[in-house]
Structure 1
């Protein structure tokens, strides 16, 4: 027999012997030994979230350690009912869950946009009416599949979608569920959170605004009720020619959605409009959004030069604070230069707040046109979550 054939035969015997020797180990160890991980180091078995179950009973085995099911995250197995065959099945856990980041504020803020564990838990406690379905147990009479994720993992997943702008396929892989199930969960949670988190953006009373007014406004603009500005979000080009014309923004040279954002002098978001087509003017979106109707006589609205809305505010006794315009070729007077500087120093906070909103990467880049039905809800959710951040303006 040629040497090459002898060598191949011996190598085959060695592999078979190795498999027999390793058979007493877990499937995970055997899987690692039989794969060629030459591109990168082999991950430690503890880093791979694989749980082996022999049957659908209240215990699970990880290697040699056995613990109660209740101590693990809720998972869905590939069995239909508990009474079925007592054969071995495998179920994958999410690669990242809330417990992995809850004690690290910087990581928690990175993944969810919520600065600390206390705020996250307080916010999740508001989801009391989003109870788990009765299909959480593996019972024949339950009707339908068991819940694939815990409620807190679903909440964590939708926050990751908003904060990091992860694709549905990526989230489905991270949380070990199908793309269809992931999409349904995201849509359900966005609709639910849009209604449930309304309390995070509220129109404050005049007395509350004055009580929390920073020194900068108290000294120079004491009647300021709200600071407003508009921002735009890029989106894909629609197929309709009429929509293309309506949504095209000359300012961005792109198809966009446009929204009006209002903040209090203390820097908190107090008003967010729906998303409008990108071609709408600042004056029209201000009028249509209804923010002027929320102000009272004697209030001041601070805005940029583009908000030529004095004909809307003056009849209601509302003062419009905008930088002065140049008159012909004449220069600004010393008083006008100082006024422009003061307004710019005060108005900059609304742009800082909009930057906070756009730190939620789902509204960065180009949003898919398929999200148009929920785009306003997504935008408002991002704005609501920024109010959980520390104040922008020091008191």
Structure 2
């Protein structure tokens, strides 16, 4: 008969709940006393975690197991591990090896300290016993735990980080001159030969700098040093220095004007040195953005920047050509672009009125004598930004892509006299003129020439400056004969600024999309490219 909380036995009613309650209290009291006794036996740190594992489903006894495996490897699980007792070993030397492998500080194992199976390899177990066969797997007498977090193989990401670090170290070593390396290596090996004597020379008949060319233009110089007992050097030493062979040097272009013009846009070597001299002595004492540059001389750095502007070669290719790392190329380019923009920005490009009239073509001076500047807008492509607001600000409806926009002005003679800062492609021509100081630069009675998009007559009217633009269709779809003749005259002269802008676009950095880093220097790059047009041969003839 099953027992219920209230049961009749022999006609009497008994309440058995107090008996179960007393029994459970006795069991709990025994477990608590047992746990306290085990705690006093085990020595552990406050950072350790202790796990209580039930030894049997039908028993109220608990076994205390130290959180040793949990501390060493965070992936251990008490429900799936097979613990191995540390104190069961009778070999003190093996126990010492276990303790050294575990690397627990201030830890004294007791008979209840365990190490789970995740810290052992399959070779550490004796063949045979498997849990599925009713037998537990047993460790070999010489088994030592070896699978810990500090012994596991590094991840793919960790290996990649290490390779990038080694690459940066190699890049920094590339700046060392190859000749000095081979010379120093040969001297070192000669001294080692003398120290080793005849025995060393017999074992190694030809010890010296060994040149191994992996790929052009890269070169690797390896210097092996003997590790024989007769040698003075106790350990094997191998010095490997990675250097790049310099393909381009400034001196190579002294008598090759065609190649210099192709790479830099400057016609000859004399003009190249002249442009460099306009930057002043400050070019020889620059403070670079990302550390000093000692591997290239100042003329070679200027040549690198000019090749980047003219050909827009990748930084990696320029590093191969000039024997420097890709990081050094970026450091040189950013520093020089900012320096050239600030240095040339101090020059007043706005010429006086009499000088403009003196160098203006004859026909231009007869038809539009008061013209001070010819204005037009230009756009250069950029890569699509990530931020939606930046995408909206740089998207040009005219080009149907993300661009930077600037206003360029030239004199009737073809000299660049004004370059505005770069704005997003969504900016209008009028908004750029509103933010410029062109009305203040013009004198009273001057005139400017622009395209139809420059509706800026009201901006120049307070300064008594006339704006010559083609006639706009308003309420009529037909122009008068006089308007057509006037528009043809304006178009024939306004084309000069478009030709000058096309000359600036021969620098390919203005035609290829700028990346995010180069887009931040957009104003400087545009100004430098059009400033360099002033050093080139004028494309506007004197009779235009």
TM score, norm. by length of structure 2:
0.54
8 Å Cα contact 1:214/1:265 also seen in 2: yes
- Which residue is 2:124 aligned to? none
Residue 534 (structure 2) aligned to one of 382, 387, 391: 387
List per-residue Cα deviations over 1:260-319 (Å, max 9, x = no partner): 000001011000001001111111111112222211111101001111111111121000
Q: 1:89–1:239: structure 2 CA closer, same or farther, 3 Å change rule?
A: closer
Q: Secondary structure at the match of 1:260?
A: strand
Residue 281 (structure 1) aligned to one of 428, 449, 452: 428
Match status 1:250 vs 2:397 = yes
List per-residue Cα deviations over 1:336-381 (Å, max 9, x = no partner): 1211111111000101111111110111121112223211111111
Q: Secondary structure at the match of 1:129?
A: helix
Match status 1:94 vs 2:246 = yes
Match status 1:240 vs 2:387 = yes
Match status 1:210 vs 2:357 = yes
Q: Secondary structure at the match of 2:379?
A: strand
Q: 1:281–1:172: structure 2 CA closer, same or farther, 3 Å change rule?
A: same
List per-residue Cα deviations over 1:123-147 (Å, max 9, x = no partner): 22334223269xxxxxxxxxx9881
Matches within 5 A, 1:373-384: 373-384=520-531
- Which residue is 1:53 aligned to? 182
Match status 1:182 vs 2:329 = yes
C-alpha distance in 1, partners of 2:292/2:378? 43
Match status 1:313 vs 2:460 = yes
- Which residue is 2:472 aligned to? 325
Number of residue pairs matched?
A: 315
Q: Secondary structure at the match of 2:281?
A: coil
Q: Secondary structure at the match of 1:115?
A: coil
8 Å Cα contact 1:213/1:265 also seen in 2: yes
- Which residue is 1:138 aligned to? none
- Which residue is 2:281 aligned to? 128
Q: Secondary structure at the match of 2:402?
A: strand
C-alpha distance in 2, partners of 1:200/1:111? 26
C-alpha distance in 2, partners of 1:301/1:130? 36
8 Å Cα contact 1:216/1:346 also seen in 2: no
Q: 1:208–1:199: structure 2 CA closer, same or farther, 3 Å change rule?
A: farther
Match status 1:116 vs 2:245 = no
Compute the displacement of 1:199 (Å).
Answer: 6.3
Q: Calculate the aligned-residue CA RMSD, in Å.
A: 2.9
- Stretch moving more, 355-364 or 104-113: 104-113
C-alpha distance in 2, partners of 1:381/1:201? 14
C-alpha distance in 1, partners of 2:292/2:411? 47
Matches within 5 A, 1:137-148: 147-148=294-295
Residue ranges of structure 1 left out of the alignment (5+ in a row): 1-48, 58-76, 80-84, 134-143
List per-residue Cα deviations over 1:5-62 (Å, max 9, x = no partner): xxxxxxxxxxxxxxxxxxxxxxxxxxxxxxxxxxxxxxxxxxxx975732299xxxxx
- Which residue is 1:166 aligned to? 313
Q: Secondary structure at the match of 1:53?
A: helix
- Which residue is 1:262 aligned to? 409
| Greater radius of gyration (CA) | 2
8 Å Cα contact 1:114/1:120 also seen in 2: yes
8 Å Cα contact 2:319/2:326 also seen in 1: yes
- Which residue is 2:303 aligned to? 156
TM score, norm. by length of structure 1:
0.73
C-alpha distance in 1, partners of 2:262/2:343? 23
C-alpha distance in 1, partners of 2:398/2:243? 51
- Which residue is 1:103 aligned to? 255
C-alpha distance in 2, partners of 1:383/1:78? 44
Matches within 5 A, 1:342-361: 342-361=489-508
Q: 1:348–1:146: structure 2 CA closer, same or farther, 3 Å change rule?
A: closer
8 Å Cα contact 1:233/1:366 also seen in 2: yes
8 Å Cα contact 1:201/1:269 also seen in 2: no
- Which residue is 2:23 aligned to? none
C-alpha distance in 1, partners of 2:538/2:462? 33
C-alpha distance in 1, partners of 2:346/2:514? 26
